[in-house]
Amino acid sequence: MNNIYINTKNNDIEPDEDVKSSSGRGWAKLKRNKAALMGGIFLLIYIGCALGAPILFRGDPSAPNLMDSLSPPCAKYFLGTDELGRSILGRILYGSRVSLMIAVGVVGVGLLFGVPIGLISGYYRGKTDFIIQRFTDMMLAFPGFLLALALVAILGVGLENTVISIGISMVPLYIRLVRGCVLTIREEVYVEAARAIGTKDRHIILRHILPNVLAPITVQTSLGMGTAILFAAGLGFLGIGVQPPTPEWGSMLGSARAYMMGKPHVATFPGIAIFLAVLSFNLLGDGLRDAFDPRSKI
């Protein structure tokens, strides 16, 4: 036991449990984590851009203005214009709405299906669990992006289908995550005690198990939003995601490819936008994990 002292690298020596509660420690750790703080600030700016797009940019980001096409950054167009003479800044600002909508939608789909199915699978085990697990195995037999691609091939292109496709491709991940947690938690003494005094299953799941799964779910949600934005941008880039003229970062990059030769700015800025948005979710997700779910990796 005393060898634990060597592990001070990643295990703090815990003071008495009652001195600080574990979630209190979590918040304290989160506040100390500069990376998570930065992620939070980026995220606020990002949400601000999405909400404030009409104020920050006056005019229609999709209206072409061929006179000014492919203008480099200048006083009138801060980030230049694309091949149709539309302000890249405006399209990026409005694009943040689209990507945020996608991120929320995708994670919404993932949570909506993944969490209840995972809870049931882990709590009841037996046949239900077996069938659900084979189903997730089947879906996980495909790499995530390809699964989304296959679903798009079936459902077709467009914003809604992008959200549904990526969302469904993430469901098995949530099922796995939640089920794994439930399997350990359901063996805890307090759950057994609740069962012993005849508490209803529904009550046990909602009151005793769900709260303990929240930490990993939160972490996964933050990281999942980053992935959702990347996937959606990827589909947009390939021309099978959100369709123009809707300002979507990935499809902006897709059409910019033709003008790489002389006008690198057209491709540069939307990419930076994607990068920063994804980075903010990843930073925050990492911070949340370090603070609330320290045992897990990646």
Partner 1 sequence: MKVTSDPLLSIKGLKTSFHTHDGTITAVDGVDFDVFAGETLGLVGESGCGKSVTALSVLRLLNPSMTTIQGRVDFNGKNLLDLDPEEMRMIRGSTISMIFQEPMTSLNPILTVGEQIAESLRLHEKLDNKKAWEKAIHMLEIVQIPSPEIRAGQYPHKLSGGMRQRVMIAMALSCNPCLIFADEPTTALDVTIQAQIIRLLEHLKKGSNTSIVLITHDLGVVAQMASRVVVMYAGRVVEEAPVVELFHDARHPYTRGLLKSIPVITQDKKTRLNEIPGIVPNLLYMPKGCSFHPRCSEAMDICKKESPPMIHLKKNRRVSCWLTSDDYGEN
Partner 2 sequence: MLNFLLKRLLAIIPVLLGITLLLFFMLRMLPGDPAQVLAGQMASPADVEIIRVQMGLDKPVYIQYASFLNRLVHLDLGVSARTQNPVIEEIWAKLPNTVLLALCAITLACAFGIPAGVIAAVRPYSWVDYLVTIASLFGISMPVFWLGIMLMIVFSITLQWLPAGGIGTWKHLVLPSVTLAAFVVAFIARMTRSCMLEVLSQDYVTTARSKGLKEKAIIIKHALKNALIPIITVVGLQFGLLLGGAVLTETVFAWPGLGRLIVDSILARDYAMIQGSILIFGLLYTLVNLVVDLTYAFVDPRIRYE
- Positions that interact with partner 2 (CB under 8 A): 3, 6-7, 9-11, 35, 134-135, 137-139, 141-146, 149-150, 152-154, 226, 230, 233-234, 237-240, 250, 253, 256-257, 260-261, 264, 267-268, 270-271, 274-275, 278-279, 282-283, 286, 297-298
**Gap between the Cα atoms of 157 and 77, Å rounded:** 31
- The partner in contact with residue 58, picked from partner 1, partner 2, none with C-beta cut-offs of 5 to 8 angstroms by kind, is none
3-state helix, strand, coil in the chain (%, to 5): 75, 0, 25
Binding flag, residue 196, partner 1 (CB under 8 A): no
**Gap between the Cα atoms of 101 and 93, Å rounded:** 13
Nearer to partner 1 (CB atom), residue 2 or residue 55: 2
Binding flag, residue 3, partner 1 (CB under 8 A): yes
Binding flag, residue 8, partner 1 (CB under 8 A): yes
Binding flag, residue 10, partner 1 (CB under 8 A): no
Binding flag, residue 298, partner 1 (CB under 8 A): no
Residue 149: which region, alpha, beta or left (left: phi > 0; alpha: psi -120 to 50)?
alpha
Nearer to partner 1 (CB atom), residue 12 or residue 137: 12
Beta bridge partners of 81: 87
CA-based nearest residue to 270, from 96, 97, 67, 102? 96
**Gap between the Cα atoms of 208 and 204, Å rounded:** 5
- The partner in contact with residue 110, picked from partner 1, partner 2, none with C-beta cut-offs of 5 to 8 angstroms by kind, is none
Query: How far from the centroid of its chain's Cα atoms is residue 184's Cα?
Result: 25
Which span sits near partner 1 by CB under 8 A: 8-16, 58-66, 107-115, 118-126? Answer: 8-16
Which span sits near partner 1 by CB under 8 A: 6-14, 40-48, 172-180, 197-205? Answer: 6-14
Nearer to partner 1 (CB atom), residue 28 or residue 66: 28
3-state secondary structure 158-178: CHHHHHHHHHHHHHHHHHHHH
- Smallest distance, partner 1 to C-beta of residue 14, A: 9
- The partner in contact with residue 127, picked from partner 2, partner 1, none with C-beta cut-offs of 5 to 8 angstroms by kind, is none
**Gap between the Cα atoms of 89 and 73, Å rounded:** 10
**Gap between the Cα atoms of 233 and 103, Å rounded:** 11
- Smallest distance, partner 2 to C-beta of residue 264, A: 5
Under rule CB under 8 A, how many of the chain's residues touch partner 1? 13
Nearer to partner 1 (CB atom), residue 32 or residue 207: 32
In 206-296, where do the E strands start and end?
none
Handedness of CA 228, 234, 238, 243 (dihedral sign): positive
Which span sits near partner 1 by CB under 8 A: 7-15, 72-80, 128-136, 161-169? Answer: 7-15
- Smallest distance, partner 2 to C-beta of residue 22, A: 20
Binding flag, residue 18, partner 1 (CB under 8 A): no
Binding flag, residue 126, partner 1 (CB under 8 A): no
Residues 6+ apart with CB under 8 A from 250: 232, 233, 234, 235, 236, 237, 241, 242, 270, 274
Count CB atoms within 10 A of the CB of residue 76: 10
Question: Which spans of this chain sit near partner 1 (rule: CB under 8 A)?
Answer: 1-3, 5-6, 8-9, 12-13, 15-16, 29, 32
